[in-house]
Amino acid sequence: MSTKVETIDLLETAYEAAKKMQDKRISSVIVVDKKNQVEVEPLGIITERDLVHRVCAQGISSKEKRANEIMSFPIATIDPRATVETAADLMLANKVRHLIVMNADRKMVGILAPSDLNKYLRSNMDMDEVKARILQGLIDEQEMGAPL
């Protein structure tokens, strides 16, 4: 997971969200209500996809839409002690690409994105084993008569 979670106030604009994402080279920002400075609770998430589907494709100016109008919610969360497999299953089940990592006190401690899973898999998988599995899958398909 990435421990640097970038946030944006729910009243900031889609433009400000996109600019922050570009400047920080990240694929999402967490929407919060910053007037409540004691505890910053995640209200939603804005991803690159949200910007494309809810602003660009609609022909709307990114300076006219507020974060709370384009954010995705509710957000999917996960415990920091969860396994990589659990995270991947949760992403698939909820059809999301980002998980907010929340500790037992419901405080944001990180965010998990596909790039984090990719890094983990690259550093922890034996590529020979992966290639063998792919080859076996192709052989099995051929034996069942599936066209290659």
- pLDDT per residue over 49-102, tens digit each? 999 999 999 999 999 999 999 999 999 999 999 998 899 899 999 999 999 999
**Omega into 147 within 30° of 0, i.e. cis?**
no
Q: Is residue 38 part of a domain?
A: yes
Q: What is the CATH number of the domain that holds 73?
A: 3.10.580.10
In terms of residue numbers, what domain contains 55? Answer: 7-112
Q: Which residues pair with 77 in a beta bridge?
A: 100
| pLDDT for residue 17 | 98
Q: Please report whether residue 33 resides in a domain.
A: yes
Kindly state whether residue 126 falls inside one of the protein's structural domains.
no
How many domains does the chain contain in total? 1
User: Does the residue 139 lie in any domain?
Assistant: no
The CA distance from 146 to 63, in Å, is 51
Please give the mean pLDDT across all residues of the chain. Answer: 88
pTM for this prediction? 0.78
What tens digit of pLDDT does each residue of 107-118 get?
999 999 988 888
